[in-house]
Structure formats: C-alpha cells, structure tokens
Amino acid sequence: MGWGKHGFTALQGTLCGACTPSSSGTWLGVGCSDPYSAGLNGSQSGLGTRTEINAATGVFPGSYNVGMPAAPATIGRRIQVNANDLNPSLNAGAIYLAEGQYIHPGDAAAGNDNNNGSWRLFTVGSLSSGAYTLTPTGATNQQQPAIQAWRSFDSAVTLVNADVVNDGRFILGYKVTDNGNGTWRYEYAVQNINSHRSGQSFSVPVPAGVTVTNVGFHDVDYHSGDMYSNTDWSVSTSGGAVTWSGGTYATSQNSNALRFSTLYNFWFDASRPPANANAILGLFRPGAAGDPNSVTIATQAPSAPASNPSDLNNDGVVNAADLMPPTSARCSRRGRVDRARRGHAARVASRQRSTDEHQCMKRRGAVQRPRLACSSIDLPRAAQPVQADSMIARSAPLT
C-alpha cells in the first residue's frame, strides 16, 4: 500500500479515448486522461496520508500531511509490499497486479465514482540488494477495481456489489472449491471501493454440525507514520458463524478497519459443500441517524448437515444428551408428562417417553416401580460423519 498522490494539474490526454480538453489544467476534460510518470507519482513530497481523505464525498484538505512526520528515506510513503508476499518460493503460481484509484469531490457528488480504479499486471523478478524487481506488463485495465482481476483470471469467482446507504461501495468476491478429500475451501475477498464508513467485521454463517478448520486472514500494513493500527483482525468460530473483526470505532478511531481502495482476504475449510447464504459486513464508523450498521451480501457458505434421526434434541451432535428428558418437560397432576408443554419432537421413541413418565410418577409418589421396566436403553446409532471441507483459492494480495 502507498500513500495518496495529490495532483496539481490535469493533463488532457487521449489514453481513455476521444478527449474534449478543458481550457485549463484545473479540471479534466470530458473523455480525457491525466497520466503521470512513476517518478512523479512516487515523489515523496506529493504523497499524503490517507487518513485525511473521505472517499465517499471525495473531500480532502488543500494542505495535506498536517502533523505527519517527514517521509522516511527511499521507500517512505511509497507503495510497500511485504517481502513474503513477493517471495516466489512462498507464492507458487501467484498473479500480481497493481491498482490506482482517483478520488475527487466532483465525481463523488455526481455519483460517478465507482469506476475510478484501474489495474495492471506486473511480474516479480529476482531479489537484489534487499528488493525484488517489479516489471509492469500488459495493458492497463481501465475503470475496473483490482478485485475484478480475480474474476478475469478465474471464471469460478463470483463478484457482488454491496452499496452502503449514504456512503460508498464494497465488492465481495467469493469462490468455493472441492478439495477432493471430503472437504471444501471457502475463500472471500472484500474490497472497499469508496466507503468512508469502512469495514469493521466480516461474518459467514456456519450451521451446527459443520467442522471448520484452516481459518485465515490477510490485510495490508500501514507505514511511514500513518496512525492506523496494524493489528490483525481476530477470528471467532462460535455462535453459528465464522467471524473476523477488528477494533471498534468507539475504542479507537485508528483501529485496523477495511478502508477505501483496500482489499482484505478471508478463508477457511469446512466439512460441508456450499449453499446460498448471506454474509454480514459490519461497518466501522457510525452513520447518520437511521443508517444501518452492517451490510448483508449474498454469497455461498457451508450447507447444513442432513437431519439425523438419532439427534433427538436437534443440536447437530449425537451423544448422551439425546437420551435426557427435555429441560422443559413438566409433570401433570396425574404424574404424566405434559407433552403439550414439553416442546419435544414427536419422533422421540416411546421407550424414552415411558422413562420420562416414570420419573414424573416417582416424583409424585404415584408408583414404587415402573409400569414398563426398562432394564436397558439402546443408544441411538451415531450417524456416520459426513466428511467435507472447504477450499481456499488464495488470490495474490492486492496492496
């Protein structure tokens, strides 16, 4: 990730097609392009912290970097990538690309700011003097966010737009792959295009009885004095979901959030094949009164295991708890189980019902011995485990 380049004049180029140039460099003509050389874009004095930018409104200060430290030598404020993400031995078959995105208040006000990103491939060369040689290749894919590249190279990927009320856009990409060993890998990528509210959590539903393993997460590293936290999001696999979450806005406004022009990856393996589901993207910054605090996004997630007739209490597990009387069982005045209040499934074996009634009658003192002697109770046969898992299609980190 790099800091933001603050422009100072608009060229009137034709890289986008026919150009109707403006009369000055203070605004860009219709259909015109404003290209910069790498040397100019990498000029450290012109690079500003992203913390000052509201990507949803396009507003940023005229005097930038107020209170920020001087740029560290050589790579300060410029695009930096973790060396492990570039190491060929750790990323066999990886595809690398870079993205640039324009932010402007006029474009945001016109509702025309969802196509301001473009991406281009590059190759990773040998390691020399502590740095890898990166070489751009191919044409620039104009007016496409970087996440579109994943779909371009893999037709199994699905992309879904998620627009936040009174704010900006996220895009979710997802892919599920059969690992071939009874498990499936679920991979998700979420790119914040221009949401100022940013992302604070990402949650995928997981039904009871599904085994989840190999949970992973990948984000970006802030640098050069940027005040944002680099603490990785934590993960929870309880409560019927896999949920990744960062710090809250209430705790610190500089918590690690999924901010504009940034992409985070999430993945896990699961023991069930996919089914249609809804993921939940929690938002970081508070919105206006009445604005939602999360966004629901259509996706795929592990399906529920088939119903097991031996799972009498419907908790997804066959164990001794299936033989216990329901906690809601009540005794009637005659010492019988009040089935109207039990709320237990009608399929419970009659032997179990008789045992329940006997317990009720003993508590009432109605009998000294059961009418139906149950010298032994056969445990329900445990269903054979359904092997499944999930697959990860790790895309190259987009930083």
Does residue 370 share a domain with residue 239? no
Residue 86 placed within a domain? yes
Q: pLDDT digits over 88-102, tens only?
A: 999 999 999 999 999
- Indicate the number of domains in the chain: 2
Question: Does residue 353 share a domain with residue 282?
Answer: no
User: Are the C-beta atoms of residues 245 and 264 closer than 8 Å to each other?
Assistant: no
90 plus 195 within the same structural domain = yes
Q: Are residues 243 and 288 located together in one domain of the fold?
A: yes
In a domain, 387, yes or no: no
Q: Note the pTM of the prediction, 2 decimals.
A: 0.78
Does residue 386 surpass a pLDDT of 70? no
Question: 209 in a domain, yes or no?
Answer: yes
Cα atoms in the 13 Å half-sphere on the side-chain side of 399: 19
The model's pLDDT over 23-57, given as tens digits with 9 standing for 90+, comes to 888 888 999 998 888 888 899 999 999 999 999 99
Is residue 277 one of the residues assigned to a domain? Answer: yes
Instruction: Please write the tens of the pLDDT for every residue from 60-77.
Output: 988 999 999 999 999 999
Closest to 199 measured CA to CA, from 247, 144, 250, 127: 247
pLDDT at residue 374 tops 80: no
Residues belonging to the chain? 399
| Residue 224 lies inside a defined structural domain of this protein | yes
Which token pair is 316? 């997804």
* The last residue of a domain, from among 302, 331, 360: 302
* 398 inside domain: no
**Of 248, 270, 302, which one is at a domain's C-terminal end?**
302
Q: What percent of the chain has pLDDT over 90?
A: 67
Is 389 part of any domain? no
Tell me the residue range of the domain where 291 lies: 4-302
pLDDT(328) > 80: no
184 with 273: CB under 8 angstroms?
A: yes
Q: Is the residue at 153 inside a domain?
A: yes
